[in-house]
DNA sequence: AACGCGGGGGG
DNA sequence: CCCCCAGCGTT
């Protein structure tokens, strides 16, 4: 047997092997009990760049709140974002809502049922289109997600940088070839992702019990921990947020974030961002990000044009994958005669109203501490 | 082709 | 501390 026919046999046995592995190892997950394209779509959007353990409770809450796509279409975007709160990548929630409305009103509630039609929907890219097309409609189109990159890079010894455009073509072509031998496209797609999540994990994969062990280029050459190749990401940006929490008559002032920045359409407090600390005590970590007392008074003077009391701020750090935000929170109790002269985008909310607004985790955590 | 976009969990 | 997670849209 020459190397070419040998490789060919690996390619034809790959999918059936994973399908058999899957039947013995699959987890019982709620979206695996339905073929409703709406629920499959919902689960796939939630699971984008999100671990199953983190996304599962959100899926349950969304299905309970919006059992059908028309019910999701009928809700306010703000309520949907509130339900999404804490999951991150909030454009997913906005696109979810937009697509729910589009399908309900323009497509008469009938979800697109082919890969190419699905691709046209907001928030549905190549991965999600393939997932829905195969899981809900049985179309023979391969999913290519982070799990698939890892499994294929290892089994077939692919050394291309998976962040490059050329590599994406290489993996997509190989995936398309491999799915041709699957007994069932939906089962195979589930299988390869589950295999990547459970067995062929990023760190210390379980090669000793692996059904592909003797065909895996990475294992046979001792490169499990070198593949896939992935170039490093950009360094984390440091930002300094100075939040002012105006209070009056039991209410607090919040505003919706409208700019092209993080947390779009979520609510936070009046914000002054500073390039860096202007604190003089550069040796103290605690104070490095605080504005000086003078700066605080100057900043507030622009807002309310009168001396107001700023109690010593509390500090919090919020880590995002691409930013590190160091926040200072200043509480400002405004006298009644100043409560009407806030910046235009700020509005007063009761604690109960505030609870129902979508907010970044940084803000939610602070409010929880503030109100107990 | 590169970049921006959240937040959390595990080694 | 670093990595990565059932990726996508914009520039």
The reply to whether A51 Cβ lies less than 7 angstroms from strand B is yes
Residue A282's pLDDT is 35
A345 within 8 A of A255, measured Cβ to Cβ: yes
Residue A59's pLDDT is 98
CA distances, A341 to each of A202, A244, A332, A337 (Å):
54, 15, 14, 8
Closest nucleotide to A324's CA, by C1' atom? B6
By three-state DSSP, how is residue A231 classified?
Answer: coil
| Whole-number distance in Å between A9 CA and C7 C1' | 32
Active site residue A194: no
Chain segment A59-106, per-residue pLDDT in tens: 999 999 999 999 999 999 999 999 999 999 999 999 999 999 999 999
* Strand pairing category for A251-256 and A267-268: antiparallel
| Whole-number distance in Å between A51 CA and B9 C1' | 9
Task: Tell me the backbone φ, ψ of residue A321, rounded to 5 degrees.
Answer: -70, -20
The reply to whether A358 Cβ lies less than 7 angstroms from strand B is no
Residue A234's pLDDT is 84
Residue A284's pLDDT is 34
| Whole-number distance in Å between A51 CA and C5 C1' | 5
Closest nucleotide to A150's CA, by C1' atom? C4
Residue A209 pLDDT more than 70?
Answer: yes
The reply to whether A46 Cβ lies less than 7 angstroms from strand C is no
The reply to whether A129 Cβ lies less than 7 angstroms from strand C is yes
Kindly name the residue from A11, A19, A23, A44 that is annotated as catalytic: A44
* Strand pairing category for A270-274 and A267-268: unpaired
Chain segment A265-292, per-residue pLDDT in tens: 999 999 999 987 554 333 333 333 455 5
Closest nucleotide to A364's CA, by C1' atom? B7
Lowest mean pLDDT among A36-40, A95-99, A253-257, A295-299: A295-299
State yes or no: cis peptide before A263, omega within 30 of 0: no
State chain A's mean pLDDT as an integer.
Answer: 91
The reply to whether A365 Cβ lies less than 7 angstroms from strand C is no
All structural domains of chain A, each given as residue ranges with its CATH number in brackets, are: 3-143+170-201 (1.10.340.30), 237-371 (3.90.79.10)
A308 within 8 A of A223, measured Cβ to Cβ: no
Lowest mean pLDDT among A15-29, A176-190, A281-295, A332-346: A281-295
The reply to whether A89 Cβ lies less than 7 angstroms from strand C is yes
Q: How many CB atoms are located within 10 Å of the residue A187 CB?
A: 19
Proportion of chain A in helix, strand, coil states, percent, rounded to 5? 50, 15, 40
Residue A124's pLDDT is 98
Residue A293 pLDDT more than 60?
Answer: no
CA distances, A314 to each of A56, A292, A370 (Å):
33, 14, 10
């Amino acid at each position: 047997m020459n190397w070419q026919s040998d490789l060919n046999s690996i390619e034809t046995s790959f999918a059936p092997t994973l399908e058999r592995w899957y039947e013995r190892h699959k987890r019982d997950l709620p979206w695996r009990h339905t073929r409703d394209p709406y629920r499959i779509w919902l689960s796939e959007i939630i699971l984008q760049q999100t671990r199953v353990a983190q996304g599962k409770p959100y899926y349950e809450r969304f299905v309970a709140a919006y059992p059908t796509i028309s019910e999701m279409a009928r809700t306010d975007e703000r309520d949907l974002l509130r339900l999404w709160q804490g999951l991150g990548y909030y454009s997913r929630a906005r696109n979810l809502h937009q697509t729910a409305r589009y399908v309900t009103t323009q497509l008469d509630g009938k979800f697109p049922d082919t890969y190419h039609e699905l691709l046209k929907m907001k928030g549905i890219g190549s991965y999600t289109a393939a997932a829905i097309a195969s899981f809900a409609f049985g179309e023979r189109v391969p999913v290519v997600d982070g799990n698939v990159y890892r499994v294929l890079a290892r089994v077939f010894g692919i050394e291309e940088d998976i962040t490059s455009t050329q590599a994406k073509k290489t993996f997509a072509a190989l995936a398309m070839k491999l799915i041709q031998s699957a007994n069932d496209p939906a089962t195979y797609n589930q299988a390869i992702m589950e295999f990547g999540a459970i067995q062929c994990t990023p760190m210390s994969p379980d090669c000793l019990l692996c059904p592909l062990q003797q065909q895996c280029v990475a294992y046979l050459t001792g490169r499990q921990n070198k593949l896939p190749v992935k170039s490093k990401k950009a360094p984390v940006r440091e930002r300094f947020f100075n939040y002012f929490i105006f209070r009056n008559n039991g209410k607090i002032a919040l505003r919706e974030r409208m700019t092209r920045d993080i947390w779009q359409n979520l609510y936070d407090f009046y914000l002054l961002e500073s390039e860096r600390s202007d604190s003089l005590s550069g040796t103290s970590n605690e104070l490095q990000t605080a504005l000086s007392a003078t700066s605080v008074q100057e900043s507030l003077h622009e807002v309310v044009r009168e001396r107001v009391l700023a109690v010593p701020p509390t500090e919090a750090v919020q880590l995002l994958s691409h930013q590190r935000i160091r926040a200072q929170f200043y509480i400002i109790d405004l006298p009644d005669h100043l409560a009407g002269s806030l910046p235009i985008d700020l509005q007063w909310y009761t604690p109960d109203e505030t609870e129902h607004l979508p907010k970044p985790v940084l803000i939610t955590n602070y409010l929880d501490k503030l109100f107990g």
